[in-house]
Every structure is written in structure tokens, then in C-alpha cells.
Amino acid sequence: MKVLHKGALDPNALGPVKQLLGDLIERLEAESDAETSQRDWCANEKNTAAARKEEREKGIRSLKASVEEGTTKVATLKSEIQESEREINRVQSEDSIAKMLREGDHKAFVAAKDDHEEVMTAVEAALSVLQKQYSLMQGSRKQKAQEPGSPFAEYESGTGSAGSAIEMLQDLLVKYKNALQGLESDEKAAQEAYESLVMENAMLITDTTNNMQSKTAERRQRLNDLGDNKEELKTDLVELHQVSNYLRDLRPSCDDIRSTYEERSKRRGAEISALKEALDVLEDPTALFE
């Protein structure tokens, strides 16, 4: 082996070599730093994008459920509002029919009442006349019957026919009075029933109208919320598409770096170490002779 003596090397002659090694080391370290930065950036971007993608997917699932629920609720409220409208129309129609029937029944009652009162007035007038005549006949027949040898004594019992007529008319008058009372009682009951029906229907219409207005307001609010949810869902779907595309675009560059980074980093680290060791030797050539 040939031994090199001290002073055999010219330090100035190593300058270009040391410069070359230094530049090479700097370049390799810069490349390593750049690749590390790129790897970290890729990891951060992919993690951030993946988190955004997961967040959008979760939000989309929630919004789809809200849209489905809102659509069903809006349809249900519409059906309930329509049912309330039909119920109000039915009750109003019932009121109209009840009013028409009540007016007809009342008109018939008034006519029947007038007829009964007219008959009763006639019967009472006939009774008044018969009772006066019967009283006069009784007085006259009694006086004649008391006269000696009066021929009317044997006809004293004839006054019985007048009495029977009076009794018949009195009985008829009682029957008409009872019939009139029955008509008036039926009319009162029918009027009270009609007024009760009208009152109950008015309360039903009021309650149904309030309920319908409440559901209309709720449906209007749910339609607004449904519109907002659909718009937000549309936005999230667009963002999900964008972030999915972004993740796909990252794969060519970032996945290659991730798959070979460790190997390249290890190889470049060894290369840099060897070059630094060589540079250290060149910085102090005397170390070779110690």
C-alpha cells in the first residue's frame, strides 16, 4: 500500500471538490425538505378533505332525512287542512239545511196555530151564544111549566139537546186547546234544538277554523324549512362532488409520494450522510494520515 506523506496534498486543489460536495448536499437536503413538506401538505390536505367529505356525507344524510320527513309532514298537514275545510263546509251546509227546515216548520206551526186559534174563537163564540140561549130557554120553560095546565111541562126535558151541544163544543174546545199546547210545546222544543245545533256548529266551526289556521301556518313554516333544507342539500351535494374530485386529483401526486417516501428518504439520508462524511474528510485531510 502506498503511503501518502503529509504535505503531499494541495489543499487548494480540494476546493472545487468540496464546493461540489457542499452543493450536492444542499441540493439533496433541499429536495428532502421539499419532499417532506410535500408529504406533510398532502397528508394535511387529504385529512382535511376527507374530514370535509365525511362531514358533508353526514350532513347530506341528515338533510335527506329532514327533507323526507318534511315532505311527509307537509303532505299530512295539507290533507288535514283539506279535511278541516270539508268539515267546515259540511257544518255550514248542515246549518243551511237546518235553517231552511226550521223556517218551514215554524211557518207550518204559525199556520196551524192560526187555524187552531180561529177554530177555538169560533167554538168559544158558539158556546157563548148557546149558553145564553140555553139559559133563556131554561128560564122560559121553567116559567111556563109552572103555569097551571101548561103544555110545555111535558117538554121540559127538551133542553137536554142544547146542553149536549154545549158539552160537545166545550169538549172540542178543550181538545183544540190541548192540541195548541202540544203544537207550542213541539215548536219550543224544535226551536231550542235548532238554536243548540246552531251554537254547537258555530263552536265547531270556530275550533276547526282555528285549528286549520294553525296547521296552515305550520305548513307554511315547514314549506320554508323544506325549501331551505333542499337548497342546503343541493349545496352540500355540490361541495361533496367538489371535495371528492379534489381527493381524486390528489392521488396521482400524493399517493406516489406516500408509497415511496420512506424508501427515498432513507436512501437520500444515507447519501447525504456519506457525502457529509466525505466532506468532513476533505475539510481535514490530515485525518487520513493519523
Name the 3-class secondary structure at 150.
coil
- In the chain, the number of structural domains is 1
From the number of C-beta atoms within 10 Å of its C-beta (0-12, 13-18, 19+), residue 248 rates as exposed
* Per-residue confidence (pLDDT) for residue 175, from 0 to 100: 95
Q: Is residue 46 assigned to a domain?
A: yes
What is the rounded distance in angstroms from the CA atom of residue 209 to the CA atom of residue 87?
10
Q: Is residue 171 assigned to a domain?
A: yes
* Per-residue confidence (pLDDT) for residue 149, from 0 to 100: 47
Mean pLDDT by 10 residues, the chain (290 residues): 47 68 74 76 87 93 95 96 96 96 96 95 90 67 49 45 80 94 96 97 97 96 96 94 90 65 68 72 59
Q: Is residue 5 assigned to a domain?
A: no
Q: Is residue 141 assigned to a domain?
A: yes
Expressed as residue numbers, the domain containing 95 is: 11-289
Q: Is residue 1 assigned to a domain?
A: no
Q: Is residue 179 assigned to a domain?
A: yes
Global pTM reads 0.61
Give the CATH number of the domain where residue 200 resides.
Answer: 1.10.287
Which cell is 245 given?
374530485
* Per-residue confidence (pLDDT) for residue 208, from 0 to 100: 96
Q: Is residue 6 assigned to a domain?
A: no
Cα separations (Å) of 63 from 50, 73, 179, 221, 225? 19, 15, 75, 17, 11
Which cell is 241 given?
362532488
Which cell is 132 given?
145564553
What is the rounded distance in angstroms from the CA atom of residue 246 to the CA atom of residue 243?
5
Name the 3-class secondary structure at 152.
coil
Do residues 246 and 47 lie in contact, with contact meaning Cβ atoms separated by under 8 Å? Answer: no
What is the rounded distance in angstroms from the CA atom of residue 142 to the CA atom of residue 144?
6
What is the rounded distance in angstroms from the CA atom of residue 167 to the CA atom of residue 236?
101
Q: Is residue 38 assigned to a domain?
A: yes
